[in-house]
Each structure stands twice: as structure tokens, then as C-alpha cells.
Amino acid sequence: ITWQGSNPSLPSLLLNSHLDSVPAEPSKWTHPPFSATLTPEGKIFARGAQDDKCIAIQYLEAIRNLKARNFVPTRTVHISFVPDEEIGGIDGADKFVKSKEFKDLDVGFVLDEGLASVNDEFRVFYADRSPWNLIIKAKGVPGHGSRMYDNGAMENLMNSIEVINRFRDSQFDIVKAG
């Protein structure tokens, strides 16, 4: 989808969203994942509703509203919907960005994904596949693998890693369920 800007010589803006979703295990959902349940609070429970179909709808709705007000962007705006983000993008997005058609779009900036909010506030949280870069410094007696020390730094480091692994294990089924 292309919305022509008033100065098409400028690099364009690409709004990208993926339409595929991760597999769902219905037994692990509070609502049927393939039914799009609307709760009394206005929340929609459905496979892919948050990741990433809500963003696709936001792009379309924003442009519809701006066009209704006769707004014309300075830069041309393109919207792309890719089919394979959840499996690495190799057969869809990757081939698209390497194509002549993509180069002809003259993309200068891309917005991709995000989370919907019902108001002007945005929650900060961690989510599945979010990188957590940690530096762990272990305190204790320095040592060597050939000796056993009480309160050894290496043992304390291993305890920290075990805590992280237990947390990861506790999240595994939740993330896998969608």
C-alpha cells in the first residue's frame, strides 16, 4: 500500500507489520485462540491479536483518519504486510528487501512492530524473546578448579546462573502457549 507524499523525492517511510503468528496450544489459553473473544473490558483474545495484527490495523486506521482530514504527508508512506516474520522472514521479507521493487520504494525509515495501547500510556515490560543483557559479578574466594573453597566465587556465579535458568524454565510454557 502506498500513500503518495507531497515531496516524493525524499526517502519514504515504511510501516511494516507481519501477519503470521506462532503456533497456539488451545489447552493453555484462557480463551479459544482461534475465535477472537472480546471481553467486557474491551480486550480481544486471539492468536496474533497483539503480535502483530493490532499494529497492522493501527497503521490502516491512522492513515484512514489522516486522509479523512485531507492530510498529505511530506514523505511517501508505504505499508507492507509480511507473511513469515515468526519463522525468520527468509521466504518473504528477506526476498522482498533484496528486490528491485523494494529498492524502488527508496525507504529511509522503517517502523516495525510495537504494542497497542488503549490510551496515551505505554507499559514497560519484558516479553518473550526480549534480550536481557546481564553482567554478573560473583563475589567470593577466588580459586582454581583443582581446589575446593567455601564461599567460592565460581560456585556463587553458578548459583546465579541456576536462578536465571529456573526463571527461564518457569516462563517456557507461558511463552510457548502464546
142 and 118 in a common domain = no
Written as nine digits, the cell of 89 is: 522472514
Which candidate in 20, 86, 106, 155 is catalytic?
20
Q: Is 113 a catalytic residue?
A: no
- Could you confirm whether 20 is annotated as catalytic? yes
Residue 88's pLDDT is what? 72
Q: Which residue has cell 522482498?
A: 96
| Same domain, residue pair 74 and 103 | yes
Q: What is the pLDDT of residue 71?
A: 97
pLDDT at 10: 97
Q: What is the residue range of 162's domain?
A: 129-178
Which of 1-5, 82-86, 114-118, 165-169 shows the lowest mean pLDDT across its residues? 114-118
- The active-site residue out of 51, 85, 94, 128 is 85
Domain stop point among 125, 149, 166: 125
How many domains in the chain? 2
Domain match, 77 and 136 both: no
Report the predicted TM-score, pTM, of the whole model to 2 decimal places. 0.60
CATH number (domain holding residue 63): 3.40.630.10
Residue 113 pLDDT level (bands cut at 50, 70, 90): confident
Tens digit of each residue's pLDDT (9 = 90 or more) over 28-76 = 888 998 888 999 988 888 887 777 788 888 899 999 999 999 999 999 9
Same domain, 118 and 140: no
pLDDT in tens, 117-168: 667 766 555 555 566 677 888 888 887 767 777 888 888 888 888 998 898 8
CA 95 to CA 103: how far, in whole Å? 12
For residue 23, what pLDDT is reported? Answer: 76
72 and 152 in a single domain? The answer is: no
Judge contact between 159 and 149, C-beta under 8 A: no
78, 45 Cβ separation under 8 angstroms: no
CA distance 21 to 35: 14
Same domain, 64 and 115: yes
What is the C-alpha to C-alpha distance for residues 101 and 106, in angstroms, rounded to an integer? 9
